[in-house]
Structure 1
Amino acid sequence: MNTLSYLLLNTVYKLQGERSVNGAIHLLRGKRSAQTIQDIHLFSLETYAASLKQWPEEDINKMVTALYREGFLSQSNQTTILTMKGTDWLKEAADHCELPSAFHGFKYEWDGKADYFWERLVLTVQTVSNLVNATPSFIPVSYDRLIQKDVKSLLKAHPDRSKLGRQLYSELKSIYEPWDEQDAALLVKRFSSNKKTGKTISQLSALFNHDRFYTFIYCKSLIHKMLDSISGTPDLFPVLSQLLPRIEGEPYVTQTARQTKDLLNKGFSLEEIAEKRKLKLSTIEDHVIEIAIYDRIFKIHEFLPEQERLDIIKASERLNTNRLKPIKELFQDRYTYFQIRLALATSRKGGNYDTAR
């Protein structure tokens, strides 16, 4: 049992027996669907979201099989729950298996922000190191054309390579200096230069005596920590801030949901949008749920009056469930599944819910 097992078991636990193990895996792997996005919000799983996006699917499947076989997970009415054995282990493992506090999957992994930044950073460090040391010919750490193009643009904006190297070193040093020495060393060892090749996750795992997945997640958390510093005070990092991703529109809303939102803003009804986009009405409703979660001024009352929204939320709390069917039955089919989902999706908005609009 390790950090990877803990992550899945704790996700299943937080889903409160209302989703299958596949629902948990979709969330952890960052599947872009309305249901997954709603579950992240509804069950407060922002930290864990997309944490397994890059982890081998085969490893995840093997782990799930093992957790069932060893009696940590159980199937119940098409949903997955923890057994008593699983719950006991989860409590014992919490102190040493929880994800690092700096890790935030939904903020940095969901849309690939961390990878975008890191891939450009390591190539920039390698390139500047080789150019400053008069080694113009080297094997790049990335052959991705977009990444190479961005790094070339950065170099073009800073023709004085020595000055660029000093500035880059200064900015990295100011980020790493307050850190624990081992944390700084962990990331520095991943950089390639004119003199060395950066270490892989497996090599770092052996070097720092951690399991491979924990090392992977810990490195990710340090990148997240870097991004917090740079995005929080970009003026202090004139070079590093140029490597940040440029996100247009609502960062967490899928492109297809944005298209539906554009049509809603033009006054089209859900039925008209479905016909215009040649999609099912239920798909357009999924988009509305997705938009409602992350757009603070979305006009929810056009689909669900405020008092009805509150009634559904209170019923969910009274029944102690987020499952749609029991809530629908309680109201004797007075509300549609779409309206119930919309109410639950906005139940954590609190003061952000704009009733005036």
Structure 2
Amino acid sequence: MNKGERNVSVIQKLVLFCLKSIENQRTAYAILHLLNGKKSSQTIQDAHLFHLKQYFHVLPHLAREEFNQILDHLLEEKYVTCLGEGSYRMTEKGDMYLQEFAEPIIPSYLNGWSYNRMDKLFWERLSLMVQVISNLVAYNGRYLPIQNNKPDLDWLKNFIQRNRINRHELATQLFKELQQILTNKKIDPLILILRLTGSNRIGLTQQQAAEQLQMSMLTYQLHFTNVIHMILTEVKENNTSYPLLEQILETKETNEWLQLTQSTRKTAIYLNQGYDIEDIIKIRKLKQGTIEDHIVELAIVDSSFNIDVYVPPEVQSNIIKTSTNGIKQLKYIRQSVPEASYFQIRLVLAKHKSAVSV
């Protein structure tokens, strides 16, 4: 297997792993929505219920046509069988393929759910910081910033003002932090370094970096995201070791709030103000099912969200007991717990992160 083939298999293995995880309880396109990071209540629920949060939004540019080609390849290799209507089941050969490698070939630092709203911002600020500090050291004031959006430029201006140290000391500290964080990790530092722009070099585009590293574009994007997520995790866990990089992570919003869809945020505001479901339906002019989806999403994302007002504790216990007995489909749980509505069942299972199918 040449290097190009090995790189392509990274994406194929990721899709195959996700197919195994959903166990034919969703169509394959639920995986595409997950990898794209579709901000719908269903996709957010799938990410949690099937324990695939780390892959949420890790391939935002994966097109449906490319995804279909991946499915076709998995079919040709007999790793999966098609059950019709977009449903696939992994074969024994596919299962063996997933277990074939001693080391997992899916990048291991991916944490899409936690970082999908942070990674792009981090990269924009980091790349701008490197460029500006490099030009400060070179005493070069004539260059075009690689990021031209005002929030990033304002942030960097404030960053420079807060860190009033000698420009050479600032550059030395930043180099030290980047060197430390990119050393002795299971990543190729060039994936990131090739993209950086300084006073005497222009960073490569994604396409150029992918070609230089002999990767497909999708594979490069996945590995680049993996490197950014590794840095984010390392900085968050050891922030005192990275005083400059840690400042890039500053945000006024909590991570949980960022994960919610915009529509769910609006519903959450009304709930916090004491409105019930019927009130919110009238105020927002939305269907009851939509508001119920928002509440299920809140239960998934917010660990402190109390569902007792929607489902009596005794009914919750009956639902949990039934689901832990191996019954995973909503309609069968409803038959065993007839006093519970489908909404109540979904809400309890979401709160307890249990995977079910309709």
Cα offset, 1:264, TM superposition: 1.9
Q: Deviations over 1:255-294 (max 9, x none)?
A: 3223222222322211111111111111111111111122
- Mapping of 1:133-282 within 5 angstroms? 133-158=138-163, 160-179=166-185, 183-249=188-254, 250=256, 251-282=258-289
CA contact (8 A) 2:13 2:98 kept: no
Tell me how far apart the structure 1 counterparts of residues 286 and 48 of structure 2 sit (CA, whole Å): 25
Secondary structure, aligned partner of 2:308: helix
Cα offset, 1:246, TM superposition: 0.8
Cα offset, 1:211, TM superposition: 4.4
Q: Deviations over 1:208-250 (max 9, x none)?
A: 4444433332222221121122222333333222211515143
Cα offset, 1:133, TM superposition: 0.7
**More off after superposition, 274-283 vs 253-262:** 253-262
Identity of matched residues, %: 31
Gaps of 5+ in 1: 350-357
Change (3 A) 1:101 1:303: same
Secondary structure, aligned partner of 1:259: helix
Tell me how far apart the structure 1 counterparts of residues 272 and 200 of structure 2 sit (CA, whole Å): 56
Tell me how far apart the structure 1 counterparts of residues 174 and 10 of structure 2 sit (CA, whole Å): 34
Change (3 A) 1:268 1:328: same
The correspondence for 1:346, drawn from 332, 346, 351, is 351
**Which one-letter code corresponds to 2:191 in the other structure?**
L
TM-score (ref. length: structure 2): 0.85
Tell me how far apart the structure 2 counterparts of residues 57 and 137 of structure 1 sit (CA, whole Å): 43
Tell me how far apart the structure 2 counterparts of residues 132 and 335 of structure 1 sit (CA, whole Å): 66
Tell me how far apart the structure 2 counterparts of residues 197 and 58 of structure 1 sit (CA, whole Å): 33
CA contact (8 A) 1:12 1:21 kept: yes
Tell me how far apart the structure 1 counterparts of residues 241 and 326 of structure 2 sit (CA, whole Å): 51
Instruction: Give the root-mean-square deviation of aligned CA atoms.
Output: 2.7
Tell me how far apart the structure 2 counterparts of residues 172 and 335 of structure 1 sit (CA, whole Å): 54
What does residue 310 of structure 1 align with?
A: 317
**Which one-letter code corresponds to 1:162 in the other structure?**
H
What does residue 297 of structure 2 align with?
A: 290
Cα offset, 1:138, TM superposition: 2.1
What does residue 34 of structure 1 align with?
A: 41
Cα offset, 1:88, TM superposition: 4.3
Secondary structure, aligned partner of 1:313: helix
Q: Deviations over 1:309-345 (max 9, x none)?
A: 2322332343442x322322344x4321101101211
Number of equivalenced pairs? 344
Cα offset, 1:93, TM superposition: 5.2
The correspondence for 1:120, drawn from 125, 130, 140, is 125
Change (3 A) 1:200 1:163: same
Change (3 A) 1:88 1:296: closer
**More off after superposition, 216-225 vs 153-162:** 153-162
Tell me how far apart the structure 1 counterparts of residues 140 and 63 of structure 2 sit (CA, whole Å): 36
The correspondence for 1:80, drawn from 80, 87, 91, is 87
Cα offset, 1:15, TM superposition: 0.4
CA contact (8 A) 2:20 2:90 kept: no
Tell me how far apart the structure 1 counterparts of residues 282 and 172 of structure 2 sit (CA, whole Å): 58
Runs of 4 or more off by more than 6 Å in structure 1? none
Secondary structure, aligned partner of 2:188: helix
Tell me how far apart the structure 1 counterparts of residues 90 and 307 of structure 2 sit (CA, whole Å): 39
Change (3 A) 1:62 1:144: farther
Tell me how far apart the structure 2 counterparts of residues 78 and 59 of structure 1 sit (CA, whole Å): 18
Cα offset, 1:45, TM superposition: 0.7
Kindly indicate whether residue 125 of structure 2 is the aligned counterpart of residue 107 of structure 1: no
Change (3 A) 1:79 1:60: closer
Tell me how far apart the structure 2 counterparts of residues 311 and 19 of structure 1 sit (CA, whole Å): 25
**Which one-letter code corresponds to 1:255 in the other structure?**
Q
Change (3 A) 1:155 1:220: same
Cα offset, 1:156, TM superposition: 3.5
Tell me how far apart the structure 2 counterparts of residues 154 and 21 of structure 1 sit (CA, whole Å): 44
